[in-house]
Amino acid sequence: MGAVGTGTLLLGSYGQAEKPMQKSFSVHKNRKTTLELVTAWPAHYPILGTAIDRFAKRCFQLSSGTLHIRLHPRETLLAPHQMFDAASCGEIDLFHSNVDRWREKNPALLLIGSLPPGETSKELTRWLRYGGGYGLWREIYARDNLYPLIGSAVDRQMGSWFKHQICTLSDLEGVKIHTSGLDAEVMEHLGIQPLSLKSENLLSSLFKGTLDAVKWSHPYFDQIAGLHRAFPYYYKELHPAISLYELTFNKERWEGLNSAHQAIIHSASKEMNSDILREFRFKNRQALLEFSQSAEIKTFPEEIIAKSKISLQKILEKQSASNRDFEAVLMSYNAFTHSRGSVLQNYNKRRNFILRNINET
């Protein structure tokens, strides 16, 4: 009978001596590849920076040393705002960033990268992988010669820091807040004056008193920034969103990788996705516990929540009318969540998820 050796098929027949088994071979042999990866984070930055460190190491291990990813932390090779164009034209091979950073490239990326009230990060991942989200995202990126993978999807659990308590809608009039994206548009409808500051200018603005409120990031990163020592009130998010991080390749470079290396990158990126989500959830809860000792954790009054829903609806309708990609993304996600209601109908469900996370601390 025939015999199967590692990497070689040996054919024999009854009564005949079989050929000696050949040595096994490695699918990676003589195919060493180096990829230049630029990140939006400083070297070894908590959670995101350390996760990308592990990702590069994991790719090297799984490939038996044939896939080497050389990391370039924030500002060491490029500034974060340069990564998209640099990968598009092939100056770098890939980058790790947050998707909504590129909202000026296409408003639909704001929606993909920071979906408004709906489900949890797991639902976002399911929509991307099984509900058509990946197809839309990759279609948009392909126009710029890019190919995205999920870098992680993380639940945003909280909202904004305020100097003063917010009791009525009128208390928001003229308030200056650091924020961006859909949040900025919604808050502008509420009478707030949104400002978008660079991270290095944020602390100086706080000390100068030019800011009344800040919407920064996840609770753990708010803790690192020391915002709980600068503001006495921490408000739950008006329309809780999900942060989508990306691992995006120059499309030609991705297609030029052999299938084994592509499979390794897929596997390692999924590990990274899970690691980032778990670490964020744990450290966010620890941060919220510390916040409760020094600040009041509050919920916006119902009149503000109600008006923010109306404002968000108008913004989504306006963007959908002016941008086909935005409309396609919103329709796709609403169709995916149809059995549980549309994005806006899931508002209360998402807020309840946040409250459960807070109570578990």
Please indicate, yes or no, if residue 9 is contained in any of the structural domains: no
Domain count for the chain: 2
Average pLDDT over residues 254-272: 97
Average pLDDT over residues 202-220: 81
Average pLDDT over residues 200-225: 82
- Whether residue 278 is found in the same domain as residue 182: no
Please indicate, yes or no, if residue 68 is contained in any of the structural domains: yes
CATH number of residue 328's parent domain: 3.40.190.10
Sequence-distant contacts of 164-169: CB under 8 A, at least 24 apart: 164/212, 164/233, 165/233, 165/296, 165/298, 166/233, 166/235, 166/298, 166/300, 166/301, 166/304, 167/301, 168/301, 168/303, 169/301, 169/303, 169/304, 169/307
- Whether residue 246 is found in the same domain as residue 305: no
User: What is the tens place of the pLDDT at every residue in 5-64?
Assistant: 333 333 333 344 444 444 444 544 557 999 999 999 999 999 999 999 999 999 999 999
- Whether residue 219 is found in the same domain as residue 341: yes
**Which of 260, 282, 304 is the endpoint of a domain?**
282
Confidence band (pLDDT; 50, 70, 90) for 358? very low
- Whether residue 167 is found in the same domain as residue 251: no
- Whether residue 141 is found in the same domain as residue 38: yes
Entry pTM:
0.83
- Whether residue 306 is found in the same domain as residue 327: yes
User: What is the tens place of the pLDDT at every residue in 69-107?
Assistant: 999 999 999 999 999 999 999 999 999 999 999 999 999
Please indicate, yes or no, if residue 25 is contained in any of the structural domains: no
User: What is the tens place of the pLDDT at every residue in 165-194?
Assistant: 999 999 999 999 988 878 888 889 999 999
For residue 210, what are the domain limits? 160-240+296-359
User: What is the tens place of the pLDDT at every residue in 231-251?
Assistant: 999 998 776 668 899 999 999
User: What is the tens place of the pLDDT at every residue in 101-131?
Assistant: 999 999 999 989 887 655 678 888 889 999 9
User: What is the tens place of the pLDDT at every residue in 300-346?
Assistant: 999 999 999 899 899 999 999 999 999 999 999 888 887 555 444 54
CATH number of residue 247's parent domain: 3.40.190.170
Q: Which residue has the higher pLDDT, 201 or 353?
A: 201
- Whether residue 46 is found in the same domain as residue 138: yes
Please indicate, yes or no, if residue 22 is contained in any of the structural domains: no
Share of the chain above pLDDT 90, in %: 62
**Which of 282, 314, 348 is the endpoint of a domain?**
282
